[in-house]
């Protein structure tokens, strides 16, 4: 698999599998993949280009390290698997994530290329609802993220998006993976997603 971010005309994503080749060209100014996975860890699928949520003007924050979701040594947990707890092989699945936040929850920003509802919001509870001194572990965080993305997917997959190559209806939910969760503003985090292209 090769992922390249071109600094000039556009973003070129190339993914090769034993079944098929995919070549997508997207405007560099419109989309961003968060990270360059070319030399990064092995991961599942093609990284979904996203419009990154912009922090409000004047807000200063230092992004915390991203949360990564690896299963059996490979970056990425299938969203459908995350909905079925526990996720076998999820690294540090029973450990609460190290997130420094003043609230008991964070705002999840879900984005998909070609859909105007790019700032879909969901709430991720960091602590048990009954016992606020008991933090949620990574497995439960992954579950909540998967639920939010499933809601977004179910609502928007019936809508025709502006980008023909990234119509949600073309990508079954069971092929979507959660790679990372990245902080994009104070209290706001955005999931890095990939799609498994057969």
**Ramachandran sector of residue 58 (left: φ over 0; alpha: ψ -120 to 50; beta: rest):** left
* 155-184: pLDDT as tens digits: 998 889 888 899 999 999 999 999 999 998
pLDDT band with cut points at 50, 70 and 90 for residue 131: low
Query: Mean pLDDT of all residues in the chain?
Result: 78
Between 113 and 37, the more confident residue is 113
* 42-93: pLDDT as tens digits: 677 888 988 888 888 878 888 888 999 999 989 999 999 999 978 999 999 9
Whole-prediction pTM: 0.80
Reply yes or no on whether the pLDDT at 154 is more than 90.
Answer: yes
pLDDT band with cut points at 50, 70 and 90 for residue 35: low
Give the DSSP letter string of 50-86.
Answer: B-PPPPPTT----PPPPEE-EETTEE-EEHHHHTSSS
Cα separation, 76 vs 87, in Å, equals 12
């Amino acid at each position: 698999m090769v992922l390249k971010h071109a600094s000039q005309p556009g973003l070129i994503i190339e993914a090769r599998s034993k079944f098929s080749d995919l070549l997508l060209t997207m405007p560099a100014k419109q989309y961003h993949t968060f990270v360059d996975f070319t030399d990064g860890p092995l991961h599942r699928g093609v990284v979904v280009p996203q419009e990154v949520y912009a922090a409000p003007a004047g807000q200063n924050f230092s992004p915390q390290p991203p949360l990564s979701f690896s299963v059996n040594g490979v970056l990425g947990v299938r969203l459908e698997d995350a909905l079925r707890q526990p996720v076998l092989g999820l690294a540090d699945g029973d450990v609460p994530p190290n997130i420094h936040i003043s609230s008991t929850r964070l705002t999840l920003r879900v984005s998909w290329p070609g859909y105007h509802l790019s700032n879909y919001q969901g709430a991720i509870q960091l602590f048990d609802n009954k016992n606020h001194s008991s933090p949620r572990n990574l497995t439960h965080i992954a579950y909540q993220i998967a639920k939010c993305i499933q809601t977004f997917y179910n609502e928007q997959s019936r809508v025709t998006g502006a980008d023909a190559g990234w119509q949600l209806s073309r990508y079954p939910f069971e092929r979507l993976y959660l790679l990372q969760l990245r902080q994009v503003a104070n209290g706001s985090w955005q999931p890095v997603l990939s799609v498994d292209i057969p």
